[in-house]
Amino acid sequence: MLMLSAADLLIFVIKSRKMKIKNHTVLITGGTSGIGRELARALAKDNRVIVTGRSEQRLTEARKDGLTAWNCDLTVPRQIEALVVKLEQEFPQLDILINNAGIQFNYNLLETPSSYEKINREITTNLTGTIHLTQLLLPLLSTKPSTIINLTSALGTVPKSDGLVYSAGKAGLRNFTAGLRKVLRNKSVRVLEIIPPVTDTRMTAERGENKMPVDELVRIILRQWERGYQLIAPGKVKFLLLLQRSLPGLADRLIG
Ligand SMILES: NC(=O)c1ccc[n+]([C@@H]2O[C@H](COP(=O)([O-])OP(=O)(O)OC[C@H]3O[C@@H](n4cnc5c(N)ncnc54)[C@H](OP(=O)(O)O)[C@@H]3O)[C@@H](O)[C@H]2O)c1
């Protein structure tokens, strides 16, 4: 039987609060493609949005959309540190951090042993770099009412056989998100988690059908964020999380 935990009930109660996302200053890592780009475009209507990424071509396109777009590779600590200094100088009013940048390599460790460099790149982008950026921004964010949003994955709860390193990184990010919420309990910083379903972006270009269109996902994210959800898990994701708690073997078989 599917059981709701106290945390689920609490989230349900919290949902009733409503707020408009307006007049904020938002940083979106990986805001030049896919979910991040769609979020950036939607939020830019009523907020100031800064996006980061590595590809100069994608950064140029973001600037054409009227966004502030800066180069920052999350695998390079000094680039993260330089980004934070620039934000402190040019956007001290920053009050929303969306940790969205991520990469996914699909391979089976038995069939395709990976190099240390490849493992490290995936973990550093999805976890270490994200944690480094977040902790460096805490002094700026915790001086005012702020929001930190982490894009994790259902694979952080139910690992996928041909994506173990990605799954491990996202499990770490899920755990970090929960821990950050504890650490910031007495501060005016809210910590949200978004777990997208399989969504039609560059990351999933080689996946088959049944992908959620990115504009539909972003509409759901904004609606649930404005309603005060702490965990945003649209579509089949919520079902998978509940299944993992009640019938973990079945959840494992579904993910593969
Ligand atoms: N799409 C899905 O089905 C899905 C499902 C669950 C979770 N997610 C998560 O949602 C987030 C967004 O994914 P997406 O599907 O929108 O992917 P995407 O279209 O591939 O976009 C990823 C973004 O991250 C940036 N990025 C990649 N490596 C980076 C690095 N080392 N440093 C800085 N930026 C980097 C990319 O820009 P550059 O390449 O130019 O750096 C790009 O802007 C990710 O965290 C992903 O894990 C996605």
Cβ(152)–Cβ(174) under 8 Å?
yes
pLDDT digits (tens, 9 = 90+) for 167-183: 999 999 999 999 999 99
pLDDT higher than 80, residue 225: yes
**Domains identified in the chain and CATH numbers:** 6-255 (3.40.50.720)
pLDDT higher than 90, residue 71: yes
Q: What is the mean pLDDT of residues 91-98?
A: 98
C-alpha distances in angstroms, 218 versus 114, 147, 224, 228? Answer: 34, 17, 10, 15
Label residue 17 by pLDDT band (50, 70, 90).
Answer: low
Mean pLDDT of the chain: 93
For the CA of 72, the closest atom of ligand 1 is: 33
Ligand 1 atom 9, closest CA = 151
First to last CA, the chain: 23
Q: What is the mean pLDDT of residues 66-90?
A: 98
pLDDT digits (tens, 9 = 90+) for 112-144: 989 999 999 999 999 999 999 999 999 999 999
Q: What is the mean pLDDT of residues 203-227?
A: 95
For the CA of 166, the closest atom of ligand 1 is: 47
- Site to substitute for ligand 1 among 81, 100, 207, most atoms within 8 A of C-beta: 100
pLDDT higher than 60, residue 69: yes
Ligand 1 atom 45, closest CA = 102
**Ranges of H-type helices in 124-192:** 129-141, 164-183
Distance between CA atoms of 155 and 161, rounded to whole angstroms? 10
pLDDT higher than 50, residue 2: no
- Per the annotation, the verdict on 116 as an active-site residue is no
Cβ(73)–Cβ(56) under 8 Å?
no
> How far from chain centre, in Å, is Cα 109?
25
How many CB atoms sit inside 10 A of residue 231's CB? 18
What percent of the chain stands above pLDDT 70? 93
Contacts of 147 (CB under 8 A, 6+ apart): 95, 96, 97, 189, 190, 191, 192
How many CB atoms sit inside 10 A of residue 204's CB? 17
Ligand 1 centroid–CA 30 distance in Å is: 6
